[in-house]
Amino acid sequence: MEKKNIWETYSAGQLKELEALNQSYREFLDNGKTERECVDAIVNTVEAQGYRELDGLIREGKPLKKGDKVYSVWMNKSIILFRIGEKPLEEGINILGAHIDSPRLDVKQNPLYEDGGFAYLDTHYYGGVKKYQWVALPLAIHGVMVKKDGTTVELNVGENEDDPVFFVSDLLIHLAGEQMEKKAAKVIEGEALDLIIGNKPLVIDKKAGKKEEKDEKEKAREGVKAGVLEILKNTYGVEEEDFISAELEIVPAGKAREAGFDRSMILAYGQDDRVCAFTSLQAMLDVKESERTACCILVDKEEIGSVGATGMRSRFFENAVAELLNLTGEYSELALRRCLAKSCMLSSDVSAGFDPAFASCFEKKNASFLGCGMVFNKFTGSRGKSGSNDANAEYLAHLRKILDEKKVCYQTAELGKVDVGGGGTIAYVLALYGMNVIDSGVAVLNMHAPWEATSKADVYEAYRGYMAFLEGAAL
């Protein structure tokens, strides 16, 4: 099948809509570089749109009816949205599911040390990364430190123009003869990804008394570390021990940017998978009345296997649907099982965009191209489809009909050549309930790199496709 560049198909009105959507998308990326930040921003947005929190509705015991809008947050890192439809929940719901975690560097629980006149934070990389890509570029610190009294201190340092930034050092080329002989996986070791956060030692107050002077001299043995701790204490009111109960993420510093002379692309951190999270959220907010209940799931931990209490393998989604059934007066264990089994889902995750510079890794007929519309991956996995969800042909035919009726541009793809590599999404987790699920999303260049690229046109088509799905899926 021929894949056409969809930029040539748009009217002036559509181009205006496309640019407005992508402006909002860039703002979403800038305001949500971590799962917590995404959830905070989403809650503010949906509450302004009339969504009410599920826990509050449970306490009130108020029944839900058609058109009601509900959200549920889990541990501040995952969120589910529902819009109640006309048909009973037992007949199934239409689900958009994406993830809001991205590859990064995480700060360890005992991270702060000094060596060679520098203060460092020890890190552990999160998700699949090429470690050498994370050195010698400006980095920011985002996250929370929770003190023993339960106070949560938020950190976001490195994004404003007058903020300091941080970095991981690399060996100068003049001394890198041995390093350059190493395989790419070994050029930078995981334990070498430590963040430089300071170089100026704490100044000892010479007027201090004897005891104070002794204490200052003790600190001066690691003067740079002491200086950083002093700043953290004065600025945020935290101590070194508070790193134990902290979640600090190291991400590329800087805002999402338009890319290319024609401004046709977005270059930004975290587009896997916040491009699908944003378009799913926007479709959920813009969808009008639908026969089936609409749902949008935005979850954590996909990049490390969907594990943990905030990952898709957790029962928080199933529990939320059970509570929803209860508030609509439909709950029973059988009704819950029927609801989940009869649901339809788009596992909204990105696909590997064809890169001419590395064409040998792709099978061109079955690759996704930037600027050719939203992408459907019938299966993912690796080798012999291991670990994949393989969607039914009947479901694909149903989706084709829906999208063609709405004139949504789409393409199909596989994740590279057979046996070259592979990957997975949250699709297989929802498929365990017996529902129809397929991977769909946006083609990305530089996937999992600190800066990833997408086409504005594909962002627009994904949004349109998700809208059509929420309104029309009913297999």
For the stretch 307-321, pLDDT in tens is 999 999 999 999 999
Q: Is residue 258 part of a domain?
A: no
Q: Which residues of the chain fall below pLDDT 50?
A: none
Residue 96 lies in a domain: yes
Query: 98 and 109: one domain?
Result: no
Q: Are 94 and 112 in a shared domain?
A: no
What is the CB neighbour count within 10 angstroms for residue 172?
8
- List strands edge to edge, sheet with 410-412: 52-53, 69-74, 78-83, 293-299, 93-99, 344-348, 436-441, 374-377, 410-412
Question: Residues 54, 177: one domain?
Answer: no
Tokens of residue 200, six digits: 């100026």
55 and 85 belong to one structural domain: yes
* Domain co-membership, 59 together with 112: no
Q: Any bridge partners for residue 115, and if so which?
A: 118
CA distance 43 to 276: 17
Tokens 């058609």, located at residue: 66
> Is residue 259 a part of any domain in this protein?
no
> Do 316 and 456 fall into the same domain?
yes
Cβ 302 vs Cβ 314: under 8 Å: no
Q: Does one domain contain both 110 and 248?
A: yes
Q: Does residue 335 form part of some domain?
A: yes
- Domain count along the chain: 2
263 in any annotated domain: no
Q: Are 132 and 187 in contact (CB under 8 A)?
A: yes
Positive or negative, the CA dihedral 169, 122, 305, 78 is negative
Give residue 67's domain range: 6-102+269-472
CATH number of the domain enclosing 80:
3.40.630.10
257 belongs to a structural domain:
no
Co-location of 25 and 138 in the same domain: no
Q: Which of 252, 283, 317 is the last residue of a domain?
A: 252
Last residue of a domain, one of 252, 286, 315: 252
Q: How far apart are CA 369 and CA 366, in angstroms?
A: 10
Region of 263 (left: φ > 0; alpha: ψ -120 to 50; beta: rest) is: left
Q: Which residue has the tokens 């769909």?
A: 440
My answer on whether 98 and 115 are in the same domain is: no
Q: In this predicted structure, what is the pLDDT of residue 62?
A: 85
Give yes or no: residues 218 and 325 share one domain. no
With beta carbons less than 8 A apart as the criterion, state whether 122 and 194 touch. yes
**What integer pLDDT is reported at residue 219 of this predicted model?**
55
Cα dihedral: 56, 57, 61, 63 (round 10): 170
Q: What is the pLDDT of residue 208?
A: 54
pLDDT in tens, 278-294: 999 999 999 987 899 99
- Residues 200, 413: Cα–Cα separation, whole Å: 52
Instruction: Flag whether 261 is in a domain.
Output: no
Domain holding 136: CATH number? 2.30.250.10
**Residues 6 or more apart in contact with residue 146 via CB below 8 angstroms:** 152, 153, 242, 245, 246
In a domain, 83, yes or no: yes
pTM over 0.85: yes
- Please tell me the predicted confidence (pLDDT) of residue 262: 97
Q: What is the model's pLDDT at position 216?
A: 58
Are 428 and 389 in contact by the 8 Å Cβ rule? The answer is yes
Do 244 and 274 sit in the same domain of this protein? no
pLDDT tens, position by position, 11-51: 999 999 999 999 999 999 999 999 999 999 999 999 999 99
92/129 same-domain check = no
Contact 301, 310 (CB under 8 A): yes
